[in-house]
């Protein structure tokens, strides 16, 4: 089994290899390929693990306020899978899990929709650790009219928090607008591309492959529960830990996670 691994925002391959070493040692017949982000992280060390690597360069995968960058990053992952694959699964933590989910959704809605009979998904299964809710970036048919942002909408709050947290992202051409084809739904747009948060109540089950969701049950819904709801419940397993948004740890947890990863991979092979 070959699995593509994507670290969290503000991390790097060395940190992610350390975080995952416990369960990877129990899956020594699996191959794990780590791909490091290319966007410098400027917000400091927030995690127990990243503080131990305070002298290391920290990275993310995309600028969430740059829609073209998001599209390009998703396409890079799909190109990597095509050129360096085949891969059996994809595994991500936090932003890496979000990117993995967005890649799967993009492939399902765009590539698979064009030729469903001959389509082969880039990954047969996915492992999400504390996966933040994925967004979707799409072309808008005409320049949208700005609206007053509804701060009860999660995407609007996420936008404002990102601008406040990172001074390098303080200038952006994004503005809130109404979705062009879904009345009542809001998006962020640069006038050419739009971005909206995926919502199972509106979009349905967008991920139709076996998935494992490792998350904290008492964390906010945006850090795992909403992503789980976007997946086929007949093909999804969950493992709950107590570490909020930090990475799970401890021998017993690593054993349980390793067992469920193997179970998810085996289920994918049976389909």
Enumerate the active-site residues: 94
Query: How far is Cα of residue 228 from the mean position of the Cα atoms in its chain?
Result: 12
Per-residue tokens: 162? 């990102």
Closest CA to 243 of 231, 229, 257, 230: 257
Please report where in the chains the tokens 């809710």 appear, as a residue: 133
Whether the CB-CB separation of 35 and 60 falls below 8 Å is answered with: no
In this structure, the strands spanning 125-129 and 89-93 are parallel
Per-residue tokens: 8? 């969290």
Q: Tell me how long the chain is.
A: 271
Q: Which class for 269: exposed (0-12), middle (13-18), buried (19 or more C-beta within 10 A)?
A: exposed
Whether the CB-CB separation of 144 and 193 falls below 8 Å is answered with: no
Which distant-in-sequence residues (6+ apart) come within 8 Å of 240 by Cβ? 215, 216, 217
Whether the CB-CB separation of 261 and 1 falls below 8 Å is answered with: no
Closest CA to 204 of 99, 109, 67: 109
Q: Between the CA atoms of 156, 157, 161 and 167, what dihedral angle is there, to the nearest 10 degrees?
A: 20
Per-residue tokens: 137? 């970036």
Query: What is the C-alpha separation between 247 and 243, in angstroms, rounded?
Result: 7
């Amino acid at each position: 089994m070959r699995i593509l691994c994507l670290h969290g925002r503000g991390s790097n391959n060395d940190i992610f290899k350390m975080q995952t070493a416990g369960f990877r040692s129990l899956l020594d017949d699996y191959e794990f390929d780590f791909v490091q982000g290319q966007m410098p992280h400027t917000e400091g060390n927030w995690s127990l693990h990243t503080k131990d690597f305070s002298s290391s360069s920290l990275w993310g995968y995309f600028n969430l306020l740059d829609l073209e960058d998001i599209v390009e990053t998703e396409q890079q992952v799909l190109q990597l899978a095509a050129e360096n694959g085949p891969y059996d699964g994809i595994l991500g933590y936090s932003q890496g899990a979000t990117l993995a989910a967005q890649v799967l959704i993009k492939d399902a809605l765009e590539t698979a929709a064009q030729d469903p009979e001959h389509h082969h998904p880039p990954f047969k299964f996915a492992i999400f650790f504390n996966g933040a809710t994925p967004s979707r970036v799409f072309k808008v048919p005409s320049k949208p009219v700005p609206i007053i942002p509804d701060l009860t909408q999660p995407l609007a709050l996420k936008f404002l928090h990102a601008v406040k947290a990172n001074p390098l992202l303080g200038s952006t051409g994004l503005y809130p607008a109404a979705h062009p084809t879904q009345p009542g739904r809001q998006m962020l747009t640069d006038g050419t591309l739009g971005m909206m948060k995926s919502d199972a109540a509106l979009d349905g089950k967008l991920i139709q492959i076996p998935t494992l969701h490792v998350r904290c049950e008492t964390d906010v819904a945006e850090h795992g529960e909403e992503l789980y709801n976007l997946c086929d419940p007949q093909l999804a397993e969950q493992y709950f830990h107590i570490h909020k948004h930090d990475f799970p740890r401890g021998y017993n947890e690593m054993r349980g996670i390793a067992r469920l990863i193997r179970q998810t991979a085996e289920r994918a092979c049976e389909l």
